[in-house]
Each structure stands twice: as structure tokens, then as C-alpha cells.
């Protein structure tokens, strides 16, 4: 089975749990996903099956949209409400929540949570955190394309952001900017690229056989397609002369055969076979 499966991850399971269950349900050995969701978060996951796993480094649909809520007055071990409180502080009222939210629009530097899979010296930050080992977190470049207040009183908001952004960290940063402590209380991923929560299937649906596999080519629509007089050259991974202004192309026959990248001049080399 090759292709893309859009899954609605429910609360109470890790992203690894979803992959593990799908591997058994679909009797699928090769399986991957394009972005982790925390155990208590829910929403869209892109699952790559079979040869589609080869496409993970090339997808353009990597930006995310979330709906989140947060609370003030407490700092937690994981930066969300689902772990122990490690500090408390009287709340400073936020007069204009939307103005604070909009101040994060654009490119930002962000510290990832200590409870995260970001690696420092070969180990995940969460490994250091759980052993109480102090380590410097790497600042990461992120971008917020759109932020929208949904309920200022409840501090519920929508965020469209770049891949790799932590909404838990955004909640902490919002609190810090207003002289508060704070943490995230809920998170729903509503979109990954152009794929929405309405497109997704729950694990219970998939278990009943009620799902649809998208062709793997849907995540390559941003790359130009090239057809060859002799497609066997691409099947065999040979260097090919192509006249195109693009530095990366998909060689296509009846199916997507391979991804080719410009090597020198009009000569392209095979970067990834897809069949």
C-alpha cells in the first residue's frame, strides 16, 4: 500500500501510538508521518505509506494551523497543563490580548520546550529534563503567518505558522511578554499545508475500512513534472539532460518515477527513486 493517509489523532495517544496502530491495522511495514503531535493534542496527521515515505524530505505542505488555549499564573514542567506545576505567580491582567498576540506575527526566534524531541549533543531535550540536567536550548527560527483571537477572555486563538513551531512555547512567550507565567491548556491541529481536519479519518473509521488513500503525487504538486522519451533512464537512475529553469523536477511516466536535481548546467542527477 503506497500513498498518503490523512488521520485525525485523538487525545490520549502519542504520534508513535498512531503509527503503531496503523502498522497493525493496515499490515504496513513502511510507514511514517510528517509532524509529531503531543499526547493530549489532537488533529491532523499526514501518514506516509509504503514508497510514499521516500517523499517526506520533499513535501511542501509543512506549514501548520492550530487552535489553542492557554492560562496564566502557572509554569509547568512541560509548558502545558498536563504536567506538574513548577512555579506560580499572581496574574497581571492582559488589557488587550489580541494586540499581544499580533505582536508575534512574522519571523521570530523561539526556544523549544524542555519536554520536546529537539536534540542537543545527540540527546532529546526531554531526556535532559527528566534527569534534571541543565542544558542550553537552541534558539530556533520560526514564523507566524497569521494569528487570530477567537476568545480573548478564554485566551483561545488560532495560529498559522511554519513547520517546527511550538505552540506551547508561544503560550509561554505570550505570558512572559505580559509579566506573567503561563502554559498551554489545549491544542488542535486544524491544518497541515492544504489538508484540513475535515479531510481526516479517525482510527476507528480506518479499522472498519472506512478511509481513502491519496496518491503520493499529491504532495509533489509544487514540483514541475518532466516526461522523457526513454523513461527507463530514470528507472535506472541515469544522469539526464533536461532543459528547464527549475533546479528540481519530478520525472513522470504513468507514475512518478524519481526526483531529479540539477547537477551542472542542463545535467540532472537522480536524487530519489519513487517506484
pLDDT at 89: 97
**Bridge partner list, 4:** 48, 214
Does residue 149 share a domain with residue 88? yes
Q: Please, are residues 120 and 128 in contact by the beta-carbon 8 Å criterion?
A: yes
Residues of the chain with pLDDT under 50: none
Question: How far is 223 from 48, CA to CA, in rounded Å?
Answer: 18
Q: For the chain, what is the total number of helices (H) and then of strands (E)?
A: 6, 18
pLDDT at 23: 94
pLDDT at 82: 92
Structural domain count, the chain:
3
**What are the pLDDT digits (tens) for 121-140?**
888 888 888 888 888 888 99
Q: Tell me if residue 96 is catalytic.
A: no
Does residue 88 share a domain with residue 128? yes
Question: How far is 245 from 29, CA to CA, in rounded Å?
Answer: 38
pLDDT at 70: 98
Which of 2, 38, 79, 173 is catalytic? The answer is 38
CATH of the domain at 41: 3.30.2350.10
Does residue 250 share a domain with residue 153? no
Does residue 100 share a domain with residue 74? yes
**What are the pLDDT digits (tens) for 39-95?**
999 999 999 999 899 988 888 778 999 999 999 999 999 999 999 999 999 999 999
Any residues with CB less than 8 A from the CB of 187 and at least 6 apart, and which? Answer: 37, 38, 40, 41, 42, 43, 66, 67, 68, 80, 167, 168
pLDDT at 220: 87
Distance, CA of 91 to chain centre: 32
Residues in the chain: 275
CATH of the domain at 260: 2.30.130.10
Pairing type for strands 64-72 and 106-110 reads unpaired
Does residue 232 share a domain with residue 160? no
pLDDT at 60: 75
Domain that holds residue 244: 223-273
> CA 102, 73, 35 angle in degrees (round to 5)?
55
Q: 1-40 burial string, b = 16+ CB within 10 Å, else e?
A: ebbbbbbbbeeebebeebbeebeeebebeebebbeebbbb
Computed from CA positions of residues 206, 208, 211, 213, in that sequence, does the dihedral angle turn out positive or negative? positive
pLDDT at 138: 87
Amino acid at each position: 500500500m503506497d500513498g498518503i493517509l490523512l488521520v485525525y489523532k485523538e487525545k490520549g495517544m502519542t504520534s508513535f501510538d498512531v503509527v503503531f496502530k496503523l502498522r497493525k491495522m493496515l499490515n504496513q511495514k513502511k510507514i511514517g508521518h510528517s509532524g509529531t503531535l503531543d499526547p493530549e493534542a489532537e488533529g491532523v496527521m499526514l501518514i506516509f505509506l509504503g514508497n510514499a515515505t521516500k517523499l517526506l524530505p520533499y513535501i511542501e505542505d509543512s506549514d501548520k494551523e492550530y487552535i489553542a488555549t492557554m492560562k496564566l499564573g502557572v509554569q509547568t514542567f512541560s509548558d502545558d497543563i498536563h504536567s506538574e506545576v513548577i512555579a506560580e505567580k499572581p496574574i497581571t491582567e492582559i488589557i488587550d490580548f489580541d494586540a499581544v498576540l499580533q505582536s508575534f506575527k512574522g519571523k521570530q526566534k523561539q526556544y523549544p520546550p524542555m519536554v520536546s524531541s529537539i536534540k542537543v549533543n545527540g540527546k532529546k531535550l526531554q531526556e535532559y529534563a527528566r534527569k534534571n540536567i541543565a542544558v542550553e536550548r537552541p534558539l530556533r527560527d520560526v514564523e507566524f503567518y497569521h494569528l487570530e483571537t477567537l476568545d480573548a477572555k478564554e485566551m483561545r486563538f488560532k495560529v498559522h505558522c511554519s513547520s517546527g513551531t511550538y505552540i506551547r512555547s508561544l503560550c509561554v512567550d505570550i505570558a512572559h511578554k505580559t509579566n506573567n507565567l503561563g502554559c498551554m491548556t489545549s491544542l488542535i491541529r486544524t491544518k497541515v499545508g492544504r489538508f484540513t481536519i475535515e479531510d481526516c479519518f479517525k482510527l476507528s473509521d480506518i479499522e472498519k475500512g472506512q478511509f481513502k488513500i491519496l496518491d503520493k503525487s499529491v504532495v509533489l504538486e509544487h514540483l514541475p513534472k518532466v516526461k522523457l522519451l526513454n523513461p527507463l533512464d530514470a528507472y535506472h537512475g541515469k544522469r539526464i539532460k533536461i532543459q528547464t529553469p527549475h533546479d528540481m523536477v519530478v520525472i513522470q511516466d504513468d507514475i512518478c518515477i524519481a526526483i531529479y536535481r540539477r547537477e551542472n548546467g542542463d545535467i540532472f542527477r537522480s536524487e530519489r527513486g519513487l517506484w
